[in-house]
Every structure is written in structure tokens, then in C-alpha cells.
Amino acid sequence: MEVDSGTVLQAVRQQLEADRLLGIRSVPVSLPEPVPSRAGKRDVRIVDPEVVAQKAEQLRALDENDVRNCTKCDLCKTRTKTVFGVGDPCARLVFVGEAPGHDEDKQGVAFVGRAGQLLTRMIVAMGLTREEVFICNVLKCRPPDNRDPMADEILACGPYLERQLQIIEPEVLVALGAPAAKTLLNTAASIGKLRGRFHEYYPSGLAGAAVPTMPTYHPAYLLRNPGEKGKVWKDLQMVMDLLGLQPPDRKRS
Ligand code: URA
Ligand code: SF4
């Protein structure tokens, strides 16, 4: 079979770009780090400081009055700290992970361990910062030994995630890994089948339009399977297109 050298070159370039932007290198190349910049962003959301303060207060109340003292499932017995989520109360983009791990359980902050550091790099590669998005999980307490969330735990904890999303009103969601995708999209399909296109998250209750949701591989899975990072970068590029964002090194002005 004849292989077009242009196609090979393009594939190699795409691989290198994903390697560099997502911070895992499959080939020994040294390329400059992306420089985050606000230039070229289309800020379509009108952010009224009063609205930001109101949403911040609603999130704080949900955390302090409900989540921190929650005993709705058995994970309350083994957790060190609850992990509410972190970021902009008016974020256009919300990342939803699975559940706190060891480091998150100790610190009470979402995505701060190894997988979290990779997620942070992914966010920076998109031209954003952790402070400009919101990052949370389906479960607010760590399952012992990081086992998969159980159906009754997701059922008990789900309303907190729903409430967070009602308050934040994001334009786009990224579901990191199968438990997040299955919970948000109410499906049993595998993440490999779901990723690569937008699905719709329907906020509970009658109010609220469907929110476009991109399922993709969890950063912890990417740490074990770095060959899949190109797919994640493709998914994130679709999210950036929807939000009118360009990667930092491609910005034109
Ligand atoms: N994995 C997750 O799903 N969430 C975290 O906060 C950390 C690791
Ligand atoms: Fe409550 Fe959720 Fe923690 Fe279970 S995982 S105790 S439902 S906050």
C-alpha cells in the first residue's frame, strides 16, 4: 500500500502538537511551552459583578450547609474532606470528573493530584486557566481505594452536581471518563463510543435548555494510555470551537 508522505507528515505534526499541549511526550522532542493569553477570546457572556457574587454565594451555601456535613451515603464514613469543586461561579465551561482521589480527599480541592495536574495542562492548552472554568466531580467524597462509584452513591450525590450546574449555568460541559458521561447523559454507552461528538445534558426540572456535553477520556486514563491523548485533544478542540476559543499559540492578535 502506498502512503502519501504529506499525510504521514500531517499525522506526525498532529501527534507532536497533542504531545506538547497535553504535556506527555511519546517521542523525545523538545518544543516550547504554550503561553497562556487572553488575546483572541470571544467573551460572549456578559458578566455582571452582582450576578457573579450571587452565584458565588449560592455555591458557598450549597457547600457549607449541605455538602460538608452530608451523610447521605456511606462514603461519609471514610472521607477525610468533602470536595465540592473549584473555579468561576459563572464559568462558560465546566469539567465533571468522577470522584476525589487520595490528594483531593486530603486537601478538599478537586483535581490536584497527578491526574489533576494533567487536567490543568489540558485547560492551559485550551488557552484558559483553572480559575476561568469550574472543575468538579460526580461524587463529593472519595471512594475507598479509588474504587468505581456505586449506583446508590451516584443517586445520593447527583442532586449536588445538578444544583451546581443550575447555579453556574455553563454553556458547555466536558464529562471526564465513563462515570461522569453516564451520569450526565443517562446512558450506558462506553466512553469510547460517546466521545468525539457533543451530546445533550438536560438540567433537571422544567427550566433550562439542554447543555452541549463532550464526553472524553479521564486524565487518569490518559496517564496510563498516553497514546489516546490525540483523541482527547480533538475533543477539546471541538469544545474550543463551540466557545470561540483558539489555542494560545494560534491566536492571531
Ligand atoms: N479524579 C477525579 O475524577 N477527580 C478528582 O478530583 C481527582 C481525580
Ligand atoms: Fe454525601 Fe455525596 Fe459524600 Fe455521599 S459522596 S456522603 S452523597 S457528599
Average pLDDT per 10 consecutive residues for the chain, totaling 253 residues: 53 60 47 40 68 97 98 98 98 98 98 98 98 98 98 98 97 98 97 98 80 98 98 98 86 52
Provide the domain count of the chain.
Answer: 1
State the pLDDT at residue 33. Answer: 45
User: Do the domain assignments include residue 11?
Assistant: yes
Amino acid, res. 253:
S
Query: Is any atom of ligand 2 closer than 6 Å to the C-beta of 153?
Result: yes
Q: Verify whether ligand 2 is closer than 6 Å to residue 150 (CB atom).
A: no
Look at residue 212 and tell me if it is in a domain. yes
Query: Hey, whose CA ends up nearest to atom 2 of ligand 2?
Result: 157
Predicted local confidence at residue 209, as pLDDT: 87
Residue 167 is assigned to a structural domain of this protein: yes
* Atom 3 of ligand 2, residue of closest alpha carbon: 141
Residues 6+ apart with CB under 8 A from 80: 105, 106, 108, 142
**Does residue 253 lie within any of the structural domains?**
no
Distance 251 CA to ligand 1 centre (A): 30
Within a domain: 161:
yes
Mutational test site, ligand 1, from 118, 137, 157, 218, max ligand atoms within 8 Å of CB: 137
Q: What is the DSSP string of 101-121?
A: -HHHHHHT-SS-SHHHHHHHH
Q: Is the CB of 161 under 6 A from ligand 2?
A: no
| Cα(206)–Cα(218) distance, integer angstroms | 30
| Cα 1 to Cα 135: distance, rounded to the nearest angstrom | 46
**Residue 13's domain spans which residues?**
5-243
pTM: 0.85
| CA of 76, nearest ligand number | 2
Residue 216 covered by a domain: yes
pLDDT for position 196:
98
CATH number at residue 163: 3.40.470.10
Residue 251 lies in a domain: no
